Amino acid sequence: MDKFLAVKTLLEVADAGGFSKAAQRLGVATSSVTRLMDALEASLGTALLTRTPRQVTLTDAGIAYVEQVGKLLDDLAEADESVFDSGASPVGSLRISVPSTYSRLRLAPHLAAFLSENPRVFLDVVVADHFVDLALDRIDVAIRIGRPDRDANLIVKKLADNPRHVVASHDYLERAGIPETPLALDAHDCLRVAYGGGYRTRQIWTFRREHVEQRVEVRGHLLSNSLDILLEAVMAGRGIALLPEWQVATEIRAGRLMRLFEHFDARPHQGDAVVYAAYLSNRRHSSKVRALVQFLETRLLASLEG
């Protein structure tokens, strides 16, 4: 018995729910599929399939077996593709993760161009605001915003800076007054990002000007891990927010939001945060990973300059 063929056939039977459908997909006779499954069960000494006139389903042992061999086949396919992908031309499936708001405003406008330049790449985009496990979720490249040293066990590549602006609507400032210095923020309603899932009611914003640093404890009535929710709230006059330039630049230029403290470098906490790509060390020789990272470096820099 060809064990590899038997395992692949078992997976097809489990997915199709029957011998005849699996045989049609594989282009073989139904009797061949049946004999192969009988031989596999005999070699293992246990029943993997429950056979009824209408359907073929996995037994508990079959479910456990399929989970294990499915992982092995996925790993084998990934190993084959990694060798195939080490050439000069990007080819194969490329699975990436990216934060939701950033994907909509900065990444999505460029994906069509990337696919046009790399017609042999199949792009799988996972939108996730949490830090996904690259190995567990089989992510080739994660586009992240933060401090790259957080991903010390990964290969990281800076793609762009991530400047932030303190903004408020004109309605809010007319009602609550314009804070003259960052320290005056403690008297204002500040709309805050829940960084790293930390849902604290109080937060420190850091401001720097000519090597002098000011740290201000801010508070307010809205805390969220969604940048879109915070932007809607600040546009509605609910308070002052510290948001990425790539999210608020258009609103500032249009006069819908006012930027405060223009001469300060504003950060939600101490330390630099940038936009960067992170990937596992076994992807370092992948031509499609290299192509994406180089493409985004060029495109994201151009979009900031534009």
Mean pLDDT for all residues in the chain: 88
Distance set, CA 49 to CA 14, 58, 161, 163, 246 (Å): 8, 4, 55, 58, 54
Q: What is the pLDDT of residues 125-162, one digit of tens each?
A: 999 988 888 988 889 999 999 888 778 789 999 999 89
Reading the block at residue 110, the tokens are 């460029």
Give the pLDDT confidence score for residue 67 in this predicted structure: 86
Q: What is the domain range of residue 233? A: 164-267
Examine the domain organization and report whether 115 and 262 are in the same domain: no
Give the pLDDT confidence score for residue 60 in this predicted structure: 92
Give the pLDDT confidence score for residue 108 in this predicted structure: 92
Of 84, 100, 123, the domain-final residue: 84
Whether residue 224 is predicted with pLDDT greater than 70 in this model: the reply is yes
State residue 164 phi and psi, 5-degree precision: -125, 150
Examine the domain organization and report whether 239 and 210 are in the same domain: yes
Whether residue 304 is predicted with pLDDT greater than 60 in this model: the reply is no
Examine the domain organization and report whether 56 and 102 are in the same domain: no
Examine the domain organization and report whether 157 and 169 are in the same domain: no
How far is it, in rounded angstroms, from Cα 241 to Cα 51?
62
Identify which of 12-16, 105-109, 170-174, 294-298 has the greatest average pLDDT. 170-174
Poorest-confidence range of 71-85, 93-107, 241-255?
Answer: 71-85
Reading the block at residue 194, the tokens are 């829940």
Reading the block at residue 201, the tokens are 């009611």
* 141 neighbors 112 (Cβ within 8 angstroms): no
Give the pLDDT confidence score for residue 306 in this predicted structure: 47
Of 51, 84, 117, the domain-final residue: 84
Examine the domain organization and report whether 9 and 76 are in the same domain: yes
Examine the domain organization and report whether 44 and 8 are in the same domain: yes
Examine the domain organization and report whether 232 and 144 are in the same domain: no
Of 84, 113, 145, the domain-final residue: 84
Q: How confident is the model at residue 92 (pLDDT cuts 50, 70, 90)?
A: confident
Whether residue 79 is predicted with pLDDT greater than 70 in this model: the reply is no
Give the pLDDT confidence score for residue 282 in this predicted structure: 82
Q: Which CATH number covers residue 233?
A: 3.40.190.290
Examine the domain organization and report whether 220 and 301 are in the same domain: no
CA 257: distance to chain centroid? Answer: 29
Give the pLDDT confidence score for residue 170 in this predicted structure: 97
Examine the domain organization and report whether 145 and 280 are in the same domain: yes
> Has this prediction a pTM greater than 0.75?
no
Q: How many domains does the chain have?
A: 3
Examine the domain organization and report whether 75 and 224 are in the same domain: no
CA 33: distance to chain centroid? Answer: 40
Examine the domain organization and report whether 123 and 255 are in the same domain: no
How far is it, in rounded angstroms, from Cα 48 to Cα 154?
39
Q: Which CATH number covers residue 17?
A: 1.10.10.10
Burial 107-146 (b: 16+ CB within 10 A, else e): beebeeebeeebeebeeeeeeebebeebeeeebbbbbbbb
Q: Which CATH number covers residue 134?
A: 3.40.190.10
Give the pLDDT confidence score for residue 303 in this predicted structure: 63
Examine the domain organization and report whether 158 and 77 are in the same domain: no
Q: What is the pLDDT of residues 242-256, one digit of tens each?
A: 999 999 999 999 999
